[in-house]
Amino acid sequence: MRLDLGGVSVEVNGRPIVNRADLAVDDGEFVGLVGPNGCGKSTLLRAVYRALRPSAGLIAVDGDDVHRLSWRESARRTAVVAQEAPAELDFTVWEVVLMGRSPYKSALDGIDATDEELCAGALERVGLTGAEERVYATLSGGEKQRALIARALAQRTRLLLLDEPTSHLDIRHQLELLHLVRELGIATLAALHDLNQAAAFCDRLYVMEAGRILVGGPPDRVLVPEVISQVYGVRAVRRTQLVFERLKEER
């Protein structure tokens, strides 16, 4: 599975948010999208998973325009964990994860052994075995995020889109989740906030600034002091991790 974006621009309420973005994610590759708040990362991802339609450019999954695919075919190719997670779903954790099987079911189909096996395996992988009967709305923020990841895993697609997937997770579960994503071995595009985590886990990174992709490539070639200074307004020193220092205003 391969994702390609060519010259993608996105407007929201007539205001340009993303400007001519080009990027690619190869099969099995974990690609990170980084940049400061408001730079357009989430908007670009929303265009990829069809919550927004681009004003220009092409978004293709395995060569097919995603906005020409049926809902069912799109959901069989792409799983999404969005930043705007539903807060008060009146379902159990098990029912939420079962939603990942919807693209493979007709209205009259019941749950079969394959569905149960995939959902149970997904819950085990995110550490929620035993929470099947808990109501989603009663979970902590981190537990809700892990339930949504389990739903995406149950969907069994070859492309995964993640918008700030480690939000609300403690450091242990952040690292466990990113390890899990790497181990999946499927094409993944994730908007990430923590540059150290992006550098440690991603095969390639794209840095966004003010709606455009400034640079892309391997983390050690992208997260250099000059780029970080321009985009984030901080000085960075590479040791075992990036060390940041706020730029002092010139007097």
Q: Is 153 helix (H, G, I), strand (E, B) or coil?
A: helix
- What's the pLDDT score for residue 240? 62
Position 248 pLDDT exceeds 80: no
- What's the pLDDT score for residue 34? 97
pLDDT digits (tens, 9 = 90+) for 147-181: 998 999 999 999 999 999 887 788 888 888 899 88
CA 220 to chain centre: 21
Q: Domain residue spans in the chain?
A: 3-246
Number of CB atoms found within 10 A of residue 182's CB: 14
- 214-219: average pLDDT: 96
- What's the pLDDT score for residue 250? 43
pLDDT digits (tens, 9 = 90+) for 4-22: 999 999 999 999 999 999 9
Architecture of domain 3-246: 3-Layer(aba) Sandwich (3.40)
Position 144 pLDDT exceeds 90: no
For the chain, helix, strand, coil in percent to 5 are 35, 30, 35
- What's the pLDDT score for residue 198? 95
Among 64-68, 85-89, 110-114, the range scoring the smallest mean pLDDT is 85-89
Predicted confidence band at 193 (pLDDT cuts at 50, 70, 90)? very high
pLDDT digits (tens, 9 = 90+) for 30-44: 999 999 999 999 999
- 195-202: average pLDDT: 94
Q: How far apart are CA 174 and CA 190, in angstroms?
A: 13
- What's the pLDDT score for residue 94? 97
Contacts with 165 (C-beta within 8 Å, 6 or more apart), sequence order: 81, 145, 149, 177, 178, 181, 190, 192
- What's the pLDDT score for residue 247? 58
Taking all residues of the chain, what is their mean pLDDT, rounded to a whole number?
A: 91
Residue percentage of the chain with pLDDT more than 90: 71
Q: Which is more confident, 221 or 248?
A: 221
